[in-house]
Amino acid sequence: MNIKYQIKFVAIVLFSLIVFQPAFSQQNSTISGYVSDASSGERLSGATVYVPESGKGASCNEYGFFSLTIPSAQTTVVFRFVGYEPFVFKLKIPKDTVLNVQLNANNTIEEVKVTATSKEDFLLSPAFGMHRLNAKQVEQIPAVLGEPDLLKAIQLLPGVSFSTEGSTGFSVRGGSPDQTLIQLDGVPVYNVNHLWGFMSAFNNDAISETKLYKGSLPARFGGRLGSVLDVRMKEGNLKKRTGTFSVSPIAGRYTLEGPIVKDKVSFMVSGRTTWANLLLSAAQRLEGQNNEESQLLTYGFWDINAKTNWMINRNNRLYLSFYTGRDAFVTEDGGGRYQDYTKFSYNWQNLTSVLRWNRIFSPVLFANFSAYNSRFRQEYLNKFDKNGKDEYKGYNNLNDWSLKGDFDWLPETGVSFKFGFQLSNQKFSPEIISYTSDSTSFTLNDDIFTRNIISEVYLESEVELPGNLKGSFGLRGGNLATQNKNYWSLRPRVALSYLFSEQVSGKVSWSRMKQYLHQLQNTTLGIPTELWVSSTDKIKPGTSDLFSAGLFWKLKGKYQFSAETFYTSLQDVIRYKDGTTALKERGDSWEDYVVSGKGESYGLELMAEKTTGNLTGWIAYTLSKSTRQFDEINFGKIFPYAYDRRHKLNVNVNWFLGQKSKKGMVIKRNLSGTFNFASGKYITLAEQEYQAIPLPLMEGSRYRADWFATRSYINSVNNYRMPDFHNLNLSYRIERQSADKTIIWDFSVYNVYNRLNPWYYYKKGDQMKQITLFPIIPSVGFKYEF
Amino acid sequence: MISAKIFRRFLFPGTSIFLFFACISNVDLKIGSENQQFVLNSILDTSKDTVVARLTKTKNITSAESFEAVRDAEIVLFENDKELGHFTYSDSGAYFLVYNPKPGLKYRLEAETGDGKIWGETTVPKETEARFEKRASSIEGYQVSLEDNDDDDNFYWITATGYVGASEHQYKNIACIISSDFEYADDFNRYTSEGTFKFEYDYYLRFSDNQLTDSTSILFRPECVNSPITVFLLSTDYHLDKYMKSSLLLERMDLYAEDTPIIYSPQPVYSNVHGGTGIFGSFTGVSQKFSKD
């Protein structure tokens, strides 16, 4: 591997751009700056700047920065962001000018609801297949036990399917969960689950905005095969101290944000913890289990988000973000005078931290540099002696150190470039096992780790082509250096959009992707026993080709319709061999029990969305098919992928019922509902059984004789589709808002008509049984904002 | 590996927070018998002079009826493509052919049912050179020393049979556990142990010859069988090896999952039978009987 060469290359590119770019920029007058929220100072990613006279415009990048080159004559400039009052003014700019604009939220009675995409993104941008959700939208979607959950909210979008009901595990366009890059403030989060996958690791009170990219993937994103979920934390209010305290039946959250130095430095800190442990203790007490000789179970999780940002000066800004979350489970059994003692504990923890530096080199060149670390650690302990040493301990570790640079160069209106680099040093230490007793001690697998260096650069450009054609062209390339092997790759990205009329556009795209790490999943439940492993000398990186095409129609400014088709081809994806169980202790490498194969998925997504007014929401329908093929699984035959939901329909409605004033308080009422339908989940189910021949020397054996006399006949993996899934969820919300505080009560009912959706089937005697995890569940949530 | 039992112990209580709301109901999945298959089973054992084949049909998983035997099929055994003879039907779907299979030869079993031909092929493994001795020093057990045949891929299974129960009501049984520290053993049916040996294996200790040197010694101890004990080293063909492993994996998962097998997804049991399902495999074995002293 020639790391030095790669670093030198990146340095030369950066130096050239910084030195030579003023020559381009000085030919026009450029307005540039940030657009932010007037009340909090929070940057507004996606806000637009528009010049009516020329019809030219630009969008703010993810840091709220814009740059627009306009004629020097007097010009009208309009700043807009959905949910905010437009800001219009006339100006004459003889030279490059910095404009930092603050927009006021629209709080009139005709409350304008936030929208998924702006018109510019929706119709004009070649990039498509992108959805935007903010924290308020997520909060208004009815959820199990009233706990708002980002990862469940995105499952309502077209092309996103789910594993089991109530789970945060999701699949985008037929990809596996690990094929979505989930990043928080630009840092990959390797485990996004709490509570065995029933809650996501994202505390909604700490989140500002989320974007899901699933169609054309810009070249600035790499490292995954299918999609990107880009989650942004709140930056911290620069104007005044605010906070929230929220309670749901399963968890509590507290968030505080405010200025450290007004308009210059701010902070945000948010913590969340579950009450599950209290519920479990109460349940055990009720059952009389909490005594010396019975099994004792404890479970808890918590997470903390923290962020500070410092506006050093007009051109420089620093952000420091931190996230950590931990789940811990302990069960103890026995230990009384006559009983063997066993203790089993299992915990997993994420830790991410990132330092980002926003730098405006010139009105047309913006840069963001990030240095981050993301860690994920799973640990389990099996202890057999309460007082002495007799224990197994195992852990899986992933440690990712990265340095990134992202540049936005906007030399003239209608032409923009993004380019950058990423250097990552990733260490994977899977399945390290140690055994300690009074007499012996040994460690397995401590030498089985993978240290990889990833060096990548990218360039993407968005240009206006003749006619109504607009193009986005990108290339991402680089190298994965494993211990003894280099994997070089170049991945083109192409997206074209054509504006048929002011209201209708068509788009096509192709993205080639590479994935250098894999998640091995060996249960049907999507729980965190999943193991992250890297590509190695033996295991190749995964490759995918994503093709998309779509038609987009915007009607009367408040209705959006889209129809997208997609085809995805996956190569060199891996999974466990049959029969591999979780939590191994073996001395072999994990590479010995995985197989490599391929996959395919295709489908049609339809979406109709109303973005403004008292009644907002969307209807999304997906028709899709997804398959996998591995030489050593299912005897080499193609089988349906577990996340294949042939039909999926989601209706998400939010109805603002109005507001009234009473004793100095504004009372707002809101009704939200979701209706969800999906084809049943594929499972492997024995529909028949057959008489088996005894294994050698087992004839006449009395051990499990009945079992060995019979085998289940399963002709294929995922041979059975469960009945269709559907439910209706409602939420009624009352906000009592005064000058300095808001109290929100949320009354929700999950699964209103008590549909008994199957979660699992099993056979007991001659009868098949069904477990339904979520029948009708009412809940109440409370939130206090100050 | 950490046993599925422990895995279940932490998974189940974990989900129990939500299982609090859960309900369990009987369900009719409307799975019919329209895909009923023929089942052909036979395992060639070079120590036997008779080859037994069984031909039955699959049945619906919720059916309480016994398996349907196929009585009027024509079953033929071929050795290196040469017909050896037709089987004779006995009862309960069992067919017999008096013949002693030979190591190193290829066999094909064909059954003509009137609804199509069902067949499978196996090559009987070559005989293994191995010897056993009983160890009665600090660690009690049996030691098998074997010479691996470099020419072939070999799949070895160690087990033992013995007697269980009071002397007047003894019955023969396979060892419930094989204990061993052998580092190259397959861990698919393994538990950790607090006893003399680090690991315990359900019924058999399996290993392949991938990492073996030409000469290998393995110390093991069969559990829950009494003398006289017969210890075995079986060398199976590829198909029987996969069939045994997939069967034992499922059995182990099923055992620990108990009533609600949510911790695993069932998988197809290996079959090399074309036109139906079942197994046609073979093995050679080396054994030695050890009496009480």
Report the largest interatomic distance among the alpha carbons of chain A, rounded to a whole angstrom.
98
Residue A689 lies in a domain: no
Of A113, A139, A162, which marks where a domain is finished?
Answer: A113
Q: Do A82 and A195 reside in the same domain of the chain?
A: no
Pair (B257, B147) in one structural domain: yes
Residues on chain B touching A431 (C-beta within 8 angstroms): none
Of A633 and B214, which is predicted with more confidence? Answer: A633
pLDDT band at A553 (very low <50, low <70, confident <90, very high): very high
B278 contacts on A by Cβ (under 8 Å)? 690, 693
**Residue pLDDT, tens place only, A457-500:** 999 998 888 888 999 999 999 999 998 899 999 999 999 999 99
- Token reading at A234: 């709140």
Q: How confident is the model at residue A761 (pLDDT cuts 50, 70, 90)?
A: confident
Q: Do B262 and A711 touch (CB under 8 A)?
A: no
Same domain, A174 and A75: no
Residues of chain A found within 8 Å of residue B25, distances taken between Cβ atoms: 756, 769-770, 772
Residues B198 and B72 in one domain: no
Q: Do B225 and B148 share a domain, yes or no? A: yes
Which residues in chain B have their CB less than 8 angstroms from residue A697's CB?
159, 161, 174, 232, 234
Task: Give the pair of three-digit tokens for residue A398.
Answer: 């992933």
**Is residue A409 located within the same domain as residue A556?**
yes
Q: How distant is the Cα of A286 from the closest Cα of chain B, in angstroms? A: 13
Take residue B9 and report the two structure tokens written for it.
């112990």
Tokens (6 digits) for A505? 């556009």
Q: Is the pLDDT of residue B263 over 70?
A: no
pLDDT of residue A583: 45
**Is residue A216 included in any domain, yes or no?**
yes
> Is B13–A280 a contact, with Cβ atoms under 8 angstroms apart?
yes
Cα A727 versus chain centre, distance: 24
Q: Is the confidence at residue A146, as pLDDT, over 50?
A: yes
Same domain, B88 and B157: no
Q: How far is B100 from chain A (nearest CA, A)?
A: 16
Q: CA of B24 to nearest chain A CA: how many angstroms apart? A: 5
In a domain, B7, yes or no: no
Q: What integer pLDDT is reported at residue B20 of this predicted model?
A: 62
In percent, the amount of chain A with pLDDT more than 70 equals: 89
Task: For residues A50 and A152, state if they share a domain.
Answer: no
Instruction: Give me the total of CB pairs closer than 8 Å, taking one residue from chain A and one from chain B.
Output: 265
Note whether A290 and A361 are same-domain residues: yes
Position A196 pLDDT exceeds 50: yes
Alpha helices in B61-199 (DSSP H): none
Q: Single out the residue in B103, B123, B143 at which a domain terminates.
A: B123
Tell me if B10 and A329 make a contact (CB, 8 A cut-off): yes
* pLDDT exceeds 80 at position A738: yes
* Listed residue (A611, A612, A617) closest to A671, CA to CA: A617
**CATH at residue A747:** 2.40.170.20
Q: Which residue of B has its CA nearest to A776?
A: B21
Same domain, A300 and A394: yes
Residue A529 is predicted with a pLDDT of: 60
More reliable by pLDDT, A496 or A168: A496
Nearest chain B residue to A145 by CA distance is: B18
Most B-contacting residue of A152, A380, A695, A760 (CB-CB within 10 A), to test interface: A695
Judge: A707–B39 Cβ closer than 8 Å, yes or no.
Answer: no
CB-CB under 8 Å, B247 with A708:
yes
Give the gap in angstroms from C-alpha A772 to the nearest C-alpha of chain B: 5
User: Do A712 and B250 count as a contact with CB atoms less than 8 A apart?
Assistant: yes
Q: Assess whether A17 and A161 both reside in one domain.
A: no
pLDDT of residue B61: 84
Specify whether A107 is located in the same domain as A169: no
Helix %, strand %, coil % for chain B, to 5?
A: 15, 45, 40
Count the neighbouring beta carbons within 10 Å of the beta carbon of residue A94.
Answer: 8
Question: pLDDT at residue B187 above 60?
Answer: yes
* Residue that is last in its domain, among B105, B123, B141: B123
Instruction: Give the pLDDT band of residue B293 (cuts 50, 70, 90).
Output: low
Query: Strands A682-683 and A160-162: what pairing?
Result: unpaired
- Sequence-distant (6+) residues with CB within 8 A of A134 are A114, A208, A209, A210
Kindly determine whether residue B17 and residue A195, on different chains, have CB atoms separated by under 8 Å.
yes
Please give the pLDDT value at position A18.
42
Mutate to test the interface with A, among B17, B38, B47, B284 (most CBs of A within 10 A): B17
DSSP 8-state class, residue A219: T
Identify the pLDDT of residue A432: 73
Q: Which of A98, A113, A128 is the last residue of a domain?
A: A113
Distance from A103 to chain B by nearest Cα, in Å?
44
Q: Of the spans A129-133, A570-574, A699-703, which averages the highest pLDDT?
A: A570-574
B65, B146: one domain: no
Q: Is the pLDDT of residue B17 over 70?
A: no
The shortest CB-CB distance from B24 to any of A382, A525, A769 is to A769
B2:A716 CB<8 A: no
Q: Residues near A387 by Cβ (< 8 Å), separated by ≥ 6? A: none
Average pLDDT (B150-173) is 80
Q: Nearest residue of B to residue A385 by CA position?
A: B194
Give the minimum alpha-carbon distance from A707 to chain B in angstroms, rounded to a whole number: 7
What ipTM does the predicted assembly reach?
0.90
* A132 and A77 in a common domain: no
Mutation site for A-interface testing, chosen from B19, B59, B61, B270 by largest number of A Cβ within 10 Å: B61
The answer to whether the CB atoms of B20 and A279 lie below 8 A apart is yes
> How many other C-beta atoms are found inside a 10 Å radius of the C-beta of residue A730?
18
Secondary-structure breakdown of chain A: helix, strand, coil percentages, each rounded to the nearest 5: 10, 55, 35
Q: Tell me, what CATH number does A90's domain have? A: 2.60.40.1120
Residue A307 pLDDT more than 60?
yes
B117 and B200 belong to one structural domain? no
Q: Are residues B181 and B167 part of one domain?
A: yes
Contact list, A759 vs chain B (CB under 8 Å): 22
B7 contacts A331? CB cut-off 8 A:
no
Domain count, chain A: 2
B138 and B261 within one domain = yes
Does B222 share its domain with B115?
no
**For position A424, what pLDDT does the model report?**
97
The reply to whether A691 falls in a domain is no
CB contact under 8 A, B10 and A331: yes
Say whether both A536 and A618 belong to one domain: yes
What's the count of helices (H) and strands (E) in chain A, helices before strands? Answer: 6, 49
Domain that holds residue B212: 129-270+282-290
- Mean pLDDT over A693-700 rounds to 88
**3-class SS at A629?**
strand
When scoring B3, B7, B54 by the number of chain A Cβ atoms within 10 A, the one with the most, hence best to mutate, is B7
Question: 């039946």: which residue's tokens?
Answer: A249
Residue A693 lies in a domain: no
CA distances from B172 to A91, A619, B163, B291 (A): 99, 67, 5, 14
pLDDT at A420 over 90: yes
| Paired tokens of A124 | 């004009």
DSSP code, position A611: -
Give yes or no for a contact between B283 and B228, defined as CB atoms under 8 angstroms apart.
no
Distance from CA of A548 to the nearest CA of B (A): 33
